[in-house]
Copies of this chain bind each other. A is one copy, B any other.
């Protein structure tokens, strides 16, 4: 067991933090997230130049080999800065599908493009009625010669408006919700038959409703083994959960710091409200939640390569902590800021909203408690 960061990892954290401090303060975030595009391609390029997309990816495909710990470091800093650029969906999810499911040719083709920032990916898994079950699919991919024909609807696909490539889950066999018969495909967002409806999300990101209408997919669009995609999806989304737990920990720390600072200066009844014991203990509980979430980010990151059950339990445990902790920290940050915490002007509400979204993404607390309990039998 070893819990210390390597010199490279410390350097990485410092360089991400410095870049964001210089180029991604709260005003920049607001400007970017409210721009027509909803993200900044120039920031994205600079991330690439800093080597952030390359950092966690394997060295043989243009990466720097830093793995999940590097992802954790980057995502915690991104969480602190409310970054809206599609790092998680491209590098963690897209990169993850390729690393775990890609053929040599697919890896060759795509991973270097991810690493150098020239490709953006989004993961289209949710469906209007599928909730958090990755196998609850009505989207189908039917054999068509050597390739497939894709039909269906995907809901609330985060980052899709920025994406060049969509990773799409579809049923290739079996009935709705069967665990077997799920497959994963790489789909060009501009392919014929793909239509999207783009919109902003509550937390300043962008998402799309996507329909696939007889979209022709070549054989090489398939990621991993046909019909066996569910395990691959779970593995990759568990990795994404690890990344988002770090992101949430970063967001919680900012909320804690902001709240502590605010209560030190805001006076009521002649004293800074931070002198009131009830508020002090509330902030201590926020601190505890932020620390526990940081611990969980570390825990799940270090357990991603353990056995399947261990990994799944770790991810579900982290997601439960993220959800509960994020809700508590977010709500209390608003409460302790009083009316100011309710405004669009302050950063507090924005972090609160990001945490609310992360609470739901890839399954909420109830979903993951159930998953965890089922794995413990």
Contacts and interface: CB of A to CB of B under 8 A. Distances in A.
Per DSSP, chain A at the interface is helix
Best-buried of A276, A277, A281 by chain B (most CB within 10 Å): A277
Interface in A275-295: 276-278, 281
Contacts of A276: 277
Contacts of A277: 276-278
A281 B282 CA distance: 12
A281 B281 CA distance: 12
Contacts of A278: 277-278, 281
Interface string A257-290: 0000000000000000000111001000000000
Nearest to A281: B278
A272 to B, nearest CB: 14
A199 B278 CA distance: 45
A85 to B, nearest CB: 42
Interface in A309-365: none
Nearest to A279: B277
Nearest to A282: B278
Contacts of A281: 278
A54 B375 CA distance: 57
A271 B161 CA distance: 61
A108 to B, nearest CB: 55
A94 to B, nearest CB: 42
A278 B281 CA distance: 8
Q: Which of A276, A278, A281 has the most CB of B within 10 A?
A: A278
Nearest to A276: B277
A54 to B, nearest CB: 49
A13 to B, nearest CB: 36
A364 B235 CA distance: 39
A276 B280 CA distance: 12
A287 to B, nearest CB: 15
Nearest to A278: B277
A286 to B, nearest CB: 15
A276 B277 CA distance: 7
A276 B281 CA distance: 12
A283 to B, nearest CB: 12
A276 B278 CA distance: 9
Interface in A72-93: none
A277 B271 CA distance: 14
A189 to B, nearest CB: 44
A309 to B, nearest CB: 27
A194 B116 CA distance: 84
A325 B277 CA distance: 24
A277 B274 CA distance: 12
Among all A-B residue pairs, the 5 with the closest Cβ atoms: A277-B277, A277-B278, A278-B281, A278-B278, A276-B277
5 contacts: A276-B277, A277-B277, A277-B278, A278-B278, A278-B281
